[in-house]
Amino acid sequence: MSTPLRLGIAGLGTVGVGTVRIIQRQAALLTARTGRDITISAVSARSRDKDRGVRLGDYAWEDDAVALATRDDVDVFVELIGGDEGPAKAAVEAAIGAGKHVVTANKALLAMHGQALAEAAEAAGVALRYEAAVAGGIPVIKALTEGLAGNEITRVMGVMNGTCNYILTRMQSAGLDYDTVFKECEELGYLEADPTLDVGGIDAGHKLAILAAIAFGTRVDYDALTIEGIERITIEDIEQAADMGYRIKLLGVAQNSGRGFEARMTPCLVPESSPLGQLEGPTNMVVLEGDSVGQIVLRGAGAGEGPTASAVMADVCDIARGLDLPVFGVPASSLKTVQASTQDTPSAYYLRMELFDKPGALARIASVMGESGISIDRMRQYGHSSERAPVLIVTHKTSKDALDAAIAAMPATGVLASDPVALRIETL
């Protein structure tokens, strides 16, 4: 039998405790599958005395994550602290510098510092693995780097934040407004300490930046993404989209077009009958498209103790087996700088606005859109009041630049009573 693979686990929150539980419960299975015993040498967290419901007395304790990362009896440093700076970054850098393999669930760290960390890990000859950083228990990193290695990836898309998907599907199923469901999520503990990480699209954007780097051989570049959250989505949007056969999702899309690299994490309309349209509750789904395989759909739990710890252990097991892969699927030195698209691929758009109830108001808006080269597919008024008329417009395919120009010109018409909400209609 080979020597044991010894872990140091920093961060004993939900995922850290879940990881400890798997190692304690599945020790024999892990050994059978990897050919090595997988053990824990030491752990670290902010509070030593907290009852976490799992046996920790057999392990050494380090108050400092950096000290844990550099211990002589640690072969793999498991970083489950979180955050793109501070102790998480310092400890990962220290582990790599000390010649330790690293497993992390930290999408923010990789989205912001992935290139530098990948170069450092590959120069040191150690693994940097992060399956748990994207889509929880869904093995999407392994799918891209291994299962689809023979494909040129043409598009990556997905619902990558379970909280946002819960909010949007709950609004639809219960007929509740955004603020009511947001408060419900707070009470259920679904939101991050800073809720904008969830509802603002930031958390999901970190994940998309990582997937795009693997899929297209580019340096991780979070700043190249267009990010928009779900805060402006109303129950009226949900209901009107459903009436047209669509569902609203916070959807990440990354693709290479003739215009360059496109990546966005924004609310979109998707066909109700599509796999993404049918996705309910706090579940994640990633759709991958390759030139040989076509389209594949991966669906599963995007967060939680068990699913995320399962992904952590998948990486640990690969290290135990001796699997040696570049961090982003190809050597970090060969990753290309993102060449952002000069213009998004044309698409149909959904527009909602309120107009003052004046004669010819609709005609003025239609005229502005026509002057921007936008053709209208459908137009509808609903819920008319004595002073304002809510209006819904669906365009034919148009560019985002043309749409932005039309929206910028609308206030000059004198009939616009609210800022327009524009949502892309994504084809699958």
50 assigned to active site: no
The matching CATH number, chosen from 3.40.30.10, 1.10.3720.10, 3.40.50.300, 3.40.50.720, for 5-133 is 3.40.50.720
Question: In this structure, are residues 266 and 228 in contact, taking their beta carbons and an 8 Å threshold?
Answer: yes
CA–CA gap between residue 304 and residue 15 (Å, rounded) = 7
pTM more than 0.85: yes
Which segments of the chain belong to CATH 3.40.50.720?
A: 5-133
Choose the catalytic residue: 107, 207, 249, 400.
207
Closest CA to 153 of 196, 202, 211: 211
Q: Which residues make up the CATH 3.30.360.10 domain(s) of the chain? A: 140-302
Q: How many helices (H) and strands (E) does the chain have?
A: 14, 16
Residue 288 contacts by C-beta under 8 Å, 6 or more apart in sequence? 140, 143, 144, 148, 153, 155, 156, 215, 295, 296, 298
pLDDT at residue 1 in the model:
55
CA 226 → CA 72, 115, 208, distances in Å? 43, 20, 11
Q: Tens of pLDDT along the chain (428 residues)? A: 589 999 999 999 999 999 999 999 999 999 999 999 999 999 999 988 898 999 999 999 999 999 999 999 999 999 999 999 999 999 999 999 999 999 999 999 999 999 999 999 999 999 999 999 999 999 999 999 999 999 999 999 999 999 999 999 999 999 999 999 999 998 888 888 889 999 999 999 999 999 999 999 999 999 999 999 999 999 999 999 999 899 999 999 999 877 788 999 999 999 999 999 999 999 999 999 999 999 999 999 988 899 999 999 999 999 999 999 999 999 999 999 988 777 788 999 999 999 998 888 999 999 999 999 999 999 888 776 668 888 999 999 999 999 999 999 999 999 999 999 999 999 88
Task: Determine the CATH number of domain 348-425.
Answer: 3.30.70.260
pLDDT at 385 (0 to 100): 66
What is the pLDDT, as a whole number, of residue 344?
A: 82
The Cα 159–Cα 252 span in angstroms is: 6
CA distances from 162 to 190, 192, 324 (A): 9, 12, 31
For residue 260, what pLDDT is reported?
Answer: 81
Superfamily of chain region 140-302: Dihydrodipicolinate Reductase; domain 2 (3.30.360.10)
pLDDT value, residue 190? 82
| Joined tokens for residue 295 | 């389209």
